Amino acid sequence: MDYQGSTLVATISIDTGERMAAFVRVVGIFLLLKGCNCGPYEKELLKALLHDYERQNRPVLNETEPLVLTFGVTLQQIIDVDEKNQLLITCLWLNLEWSDYQLNWNSTQYGGVDSIRIHPKLLWTPDLLMYNSADEKFD
């Protein structure tokens, strides 16, 4: 059997600055389950992928195995530099990437669809905690 597989790779971007606003980017086209403007293959694929998907479970086949997570930071803007107090206020994007084994499909069964976007609220995302911040509201 000739298998053309596709895997959804999730990418998280977190915007930090004076306000910590989080948003998630997932490879492909943005789709929401309710009111999505997509073709029938994408709708069918979304329903199949998320049918038994449990977003509370860490996406590994064996619970004893670690999840490989790629982490990166992109400096978007330096907002302020306070040399006297040694304080730097920035706007950063934290880029997180991992593979979720539950989001695999055979693209030939779904009209050649090999990438999609899924709203982050529907997927597992890692818990993030700011460890060191000069801003007291994050402590």
The predicted-structure confidence for 51-106, as pLDDT tens digits, reads as follows 999 999 999 999 999 999 998 999 999 999 999 988 888 999 988 899 999 999 99
Prediction pTM value: 0.59
Residue listed under structure tokens 């053309």: 4
End-to-end, the C-alpha distance of the chain in Å comes to 54
Total residues belonging to the chain: 139
- Report yes or no: 134 and 16 within 8 Å, Cβ to Cβ: no
Percent above pLDDT 90 for the chain:
47
The two three-digit tokens of residue 77, written as one number: 């803007």
The two three-digit tokens of residue 4, written as one number: 């053309």
